[in-house]
């Protein structure tokens, strides 16, 4: 794959400095010979071999980040914002190339890969504005000649654990905001997509060097579960932001809480769309299909359950069968295809196991599943998006399967539909299609969707940068990206100033000496 990305042309060794995007020095590094092999699910080819960070590497990274924080936090926030602005310009320059690499290493369609890089650009733009809006509050004191206020200070080191399905965007949601807030970042990317992380570090390297940013503001460690555990257990890491499965998130939360650290969790989703008999189906069907098959069903916001009013159930089912028949599956770099591969053969095995479980429970497939092979599918990672008629309470429906499997359910009343929507452990994204104002408002009310995201007449995928992203229940409760999500990366401090000549105490207490 040809690219003008500023990447090393030889197998990547984390012991090699990438400029101010810090790796431990080559001379100091204890090479163990252990590597991550990054294979493309598109064609099964080996893309790169990346050396794993050792514990010694990790400790050097943390020490360098600590030293950088002491300098970086004193840089004025608008100046930090301007540096992030320059990063956004660099990502604009390399959008096509990085988007292509994302598509090739992860397997999502090229349009989605480009869209993911656009999310980096958008959060850079958002963070630039935010750098001038790190507002506190002023409050009236009950004591005369006193003033109260609150202000926000940077936390320190922010550890970022990202998942394979959005290998660069979710890192940027955290890093850009953390940087304008005055924090430094240590990124542990998914072991399934290490090369895109290295590319991001290379892209911002010139910006950091040209602005004399201290080495250690942007750091990277490679590895699997062990590297994530280092971050979670390390009291030097003030905040751990982790994206991934609910199981992983629970382990991170427990470990970080055990040392009274802070965690920000973006975990599993089991997202539903309710389709009312008042819906515009010409709008609903494309949104359902994209939500269910986009990124081959490997989004945390993927539409996994479709809850349809019984009077239009057969109509919706037939429309979906027709739409799925038109899906084209193939190489994600070819923009004529709608659906690319799953991330690896382990994901394919999980898809197959889920299909078997659906059949054993008596589920009937409206659109048949299958694993594709032959010309163009040599990687063994391509599967057919499928639709199964099921029941909401089935264990298989209650779980999140990272694959293009859509469960078709029916309802009688809106309250029944909302109960099914809410009747799963996860609480990330939700949607209703209706032209009935009362239905829409009830869905958004306190007795409606219990998810962190609730949409009307759009699907469950496609969050915008300006809104806080995250969910409830087993989704973790964290918020990233827009709105006031920046507060997660700072510590709040309340200040009281006595500018008078006496010492009145609060609550009218007197204390005579």
Strands 490-498 and 146-154: antiparallel
How many C-beta atoms surround the C-beta of residue 500 within 10 A? 11
Separation CA 156–CA 239 (nearest Å): 8
Burial bucket for residue 346 (CB in 10 Å: 0-12, 13-18, 19+):
exposed
Angle between helices 110-130 and 77-93 (to 10 degrees): 160
DSSP letters along 421-453, please?
A: HH-SSEESEEEEE-S-HHHHHHHHSTTS--SSE
Are 490 and 154 contacting, i.e. CB atoms less than 8 angstroms apart? yes
Mark whether 451 is an active-site residue.
no
Separation CA 330–CA 375 (nearest Å): 10
Catalytic residue among 124, 300, 381, 386: 300
Q: Which residues contact residue 342 at a Cβ distance below 8 angstroms, ignoring those fewer than 6 apart?
A: 41, 107, 296, 298, 348, 351, 381, 382, 383, 402, 403
Are 406 and 292 contacting, i.e. CB atoms less than 8 angstroms apart? yes
Separation CA 500–CA 43 (nearest Å): 74
Are 443 and 449 contacting, i.e. CB atoms less than 8 angstroms apart? yes
- Strand partners for 386: 405
- Strand partners for 454: 430
How many C-beta atoms surround the C-beta of residue 391 within 10 A? 14
Separation CA 204–CA 19 (nearest Å): 9
Catalytic residue among 112, 116, 215, 266: 266
Mark whether 300 is an active-site residue.
yes
Q: Looking at residue 342, what DSSP letter applies?
A: -
- Strand partners for 473: 426
- The phi and psi torsions of 314 (rounded to 5 degrees) equal -65, -40
Alpha helix (H) ranges present in 160-245?
Answer: 169-180, 194-210, 225-233
Q: Which residues are catalytic?
A: 266, 300
């Amino acid at each position: 794959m040809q690219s003008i990305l500023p990447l090393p042309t030889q197998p990547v060794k984390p012991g090699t400095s990438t400029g101010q995007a810090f790796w431990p020095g080559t001379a100091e590094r204890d090479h163990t010979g252990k590597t991550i092999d990054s294979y493309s699910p598109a064609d099964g080819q080996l893309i790169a071999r990346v050396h794993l960070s050792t514990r010694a590497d990790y400790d050097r990274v943390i020490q360098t980040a600590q030293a950088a924080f002491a300098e970086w936090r004193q840089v004025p926030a608008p100046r930090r914002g301007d540096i992030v602005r320059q990063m956004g310009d660099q990502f604009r320059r390399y959008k096509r190339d990085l988007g292509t690499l994302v598509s090739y290493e992860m397997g999502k369609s090229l349009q989605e890969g480009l869209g993911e890089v656009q999310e980096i650009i958008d959060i850079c733009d958002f963070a630039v504005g935010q750098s001038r809006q790190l507002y506190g509050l002023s409050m009236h004191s009950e004591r005369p000649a006193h003033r109260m206020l609150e202000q926000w200070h940077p936390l320190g080191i922010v550890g970022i654990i990202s998942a394979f399905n959005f290998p660069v965007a979710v890192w940027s949601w955290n890093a850009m905001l953390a940087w304008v807030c005055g924090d430094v970042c240590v990124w542990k990317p998914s072991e399934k997509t290490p090369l895109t992380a290295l590319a991001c570090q290379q892209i911002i390297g010139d910006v950091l060097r040209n602005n004399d940013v201290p080495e250690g503001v942007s750091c990277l460690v490679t590895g699997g579960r062990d590297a994530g555990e280092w971050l979670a257990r390390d009291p030097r890491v003030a905040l751990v932001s982790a994206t991934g499965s609910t199981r992983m998130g629970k382990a991170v939360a427990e470990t970080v809480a055990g040392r009274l650290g802070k965690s920000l969790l973006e975990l599993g989703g089991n997202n539903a769309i309710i389709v009312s008999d008042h819906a515009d189906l010409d709008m609903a069907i494309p949104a359902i299909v994209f939500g269910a098959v986009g990124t081959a069903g490997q989004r945390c916001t993927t539409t996994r359950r479709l809850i349809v009013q019984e009077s239009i159930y057969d109509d919706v089912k037939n429309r979906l069968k027709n739409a799925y028949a038109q899906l084209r599956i193939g190489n994600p770099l070819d923009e004529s295809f709608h659906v690319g591969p799953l991330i690896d053969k382990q994901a394919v095995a999980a898809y197959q196991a889920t299909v078997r479980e659906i059949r054993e429970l008596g589920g009937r497939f409206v659109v048949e599943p299958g694993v594709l092979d032959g010309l163009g599918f040599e990687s063994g990672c391509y599967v057919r998006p499928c639709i199964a008629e099921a029941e909401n309470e089935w264990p298989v429906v209650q779980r999140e399967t990272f694959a293009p499997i859509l469960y078709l359910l029916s309802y009688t009343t809106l309250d029944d539909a909302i109960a099914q929507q809410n009747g799963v452990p996860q609480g990330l994204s939700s949607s209703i299609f209706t032209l009935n104002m009362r239905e829409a408002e009830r869905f958004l009310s306190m007795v409606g969707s219990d998810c962190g995201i609730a949409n009307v007449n759009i699907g469950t995928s496609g969050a915008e940068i300006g809104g806080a992203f995250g969910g409830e229940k087993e989704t973790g409760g964290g918020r990233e990206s827009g709105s006031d999500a920046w507060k997660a990366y700072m510590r709040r401090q309340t200040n009281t100033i006595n500018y008078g000549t006496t010492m009145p105490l609060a609550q009218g207490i007197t204390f005579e000496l």
